[in-house]
Amino acid sequence: MSDLPSYLKSGERTRLIPTVADTSKEGRAVSILLSAMMAVKPLATELLSPLGQRPGKRTRLDCYREVVFHGTANNDRPDGLIIVRHGKSEWTALVEGKIGKAKIDGDQIHRYANIAKDHKIDAILTVSNEFAGLPEHGPAQLPKVLARHVSLYHWSWMSVLTQALLLLSDGKIENPHEQLILREVARFLRHPSTGISGYTSMAPAWKELGTQIQSGAPISKSMDIVQDAVSSWHQEERDLCLLLSRKLGLPVHVRMSRSHKNDAQQRLLDESSELCTTFRVNSMFDIPDTAAPLLVVGDFRRRSVTCSMQLKAPEDRKRNSARINWLLRQLRDVEDERIFIRAVWPKRASDTQIGLGELRANPAALETDRESLSLQYFDVRMVGDFKANFSSPRKFIEIIEGFVPAYYEKIGQHLRAWVPTPPKLKERDPVTIDQSDELESPNDDQKQSTETVQIMSAEEKSVDS
């Protein structure tokens, strides 16, 4: 084709309705995705912005499929090529997609990275049913030598679908033609025959690790089953994030430190070490306009999952009973024996915890032996006892993906953070001088001071003469 970039030996422009073999599900899905990005600029903006590319009004986006580069074997054929042109600058990325249970092949991505380096392609983008907390935290890794020349990013198909649904729900797309295209693309991605799915099973290491912890066997952060279990939790974490986003119609994000955002491997090692110490995994989700982040903790020893949100106790209530009543009013319609309230106290005093029903019956029970202390924070938590299902790779996901949204529906969406009352203006500005005070006659002390100054002045004059 005449419009192919000079470094390509062969390839075709992507199409919304591609003519590909029935067996090529990956080629069809990639072609539809890239064509939708060209046709619906808001979709391209939302997907490419986390990769450092934000298409503007004059940005040109061109996409090709099944590309073969000059000087490479025909079997090294990436599923797609993205070219983003901002004026004179250009950013390019190879695209490799997998469908169903197929996983990203590290050796294949390594070969593509060498091709990208030789032809000055900026990045490689992988798309599969595997999940990643951030685009930089994909399932494949590049050697440091290649990583200096080629960036590596990853999208899950479910994250693409979620972004399309969010754009349709928040009314950002006003063009009816773009709306029609995006609705059809979302319908395609949601259809079971496409081969796109959420995270449906924890890694086998999840069950093996649970067995070892229950038996008291020693574990270390360098063990494969520990790191594989944490990596599996990270994928489920991302799936939960997307699930909440779709249910709320708003983007939900995983909260993590800057160092962990910049280094996925360091995050894996740090959280593997924490798991070996606490026997827990945890994730924190930032949900727009909520009273606090949502914390989700999986406990291997207790075989339970806990969801919680922490609220600062109102400082304008002096008595602890008033602070407790402030919280109970927010939960007046909640009835669930799995809900507990934990109070956080100052001066190294240990936390106290009580069931919501018991607290309603006896609010003073939360402050036993702490009447002299001021309650600082409330942890409103719901504890799910998963029992044997905690170690079941499939059952665990089925239960937690119902449990976390249930917590938000019962509790999270009803909680309100305490906000200090705005200060009131004083009736009189203390800096303003009352003029009537200036007109008052001097008192005796003032008179005496004036006479003293006059005498000292007369003595000075006589000395001078």
Q: Is the pLDDT assigned to residue 454 strictly greater than 70?
A: no
Domain extent for 39: 8-194
361 in any annotated domain: yes
Task: Please tell me whether residues 160 and 220 are part of one structural domain.
Answer: no
Looking at residues 436-445, what average pLDDT do you find?
53
105 in any annotated domain: yes
Q: Is the pLDDT assigned to residue 463 strictly greater than 80?
A: no
Average pLDDT, the chain: 90
Task: Please tell me whether residues 44 and 113 are part of one structural domain.
Answer: yes
Task: Please tell me whether residues 451 and 339 are part of one structural domain.
Answer: no
Predicted local confidence at residue 1, as pLDDT? 43
Contact 336, 356 (CB under 8 A): yes
Contact 393, 228 (CB under 8 A): no
Looking at residues 18-35, what average pLDDT do you find?
88
Task: Please tell me whether residues 230 and 131 are part of one structural domain.
Answer: no
Find tokens 């990325």 and name the residue: 93
Q: Is the pLDDT assigned to residue 215 strictly greater than 60?
A: yes
Predicted local confidence at residue 75, as pLDDT? 79
Task: Please tell me whether residues 88 and 210 are part of one structural domain.
Answer: no
Q: Which of 290, 283, 284, 282 is nearest to 248 (CA)?
A: 290
Task: Please tell me whether residues 39 and 99 are part of one structural domain.
Answer: yes
Task: Please tell me whether residues 177 and 215 are part of one structural domain.
Answer: no
Q: Is the pLDDT assigned to residue 19 strictly greater than 50?
A: yes
427 in any annotated domain: no
423 in any annotated domain: no
* Strand 151-156 to 123-128 pairing: parallel
Contact 368, 358 (CB under 8 A): no
Contact 370, 349 (CB under 8 A): yes
- CA atoms of 203 and 395, how far apart (whole Å): 12
421 in any annotated domain: no
In the chain, how many domains are there?
3
- C-alpha distances in angstroms, 162 versus 211, 245, 261, 295? 35, 7, 21, 22
Task: Please tell me whether residues 218 and 335 are part of one structural domain.
Answer: yes
Predicted local confidence at residue 328, as pLDDT? 96
246 in any annotated domain: yes
Task: Please tell me whether residues 269 and 310 are part of one structural domain.
Answer: yes
Task: Please tell me whether residues 134 and 218 are part of one structural domain.
Answer: no
Residues 33-86 pLDDT 10s: 999 999 999 999 999 999 999 888 889 999 999 999 998 877 789 999 999 998
Task: Please tell me whether residues 269 and 373 are part of one structural domain.
Answer: yes
**What is the pLDDT confidence band of residue 462, given thresholds at 50, 70 and 90?**
very low
What 3-state DSSP class applies to 67? strand
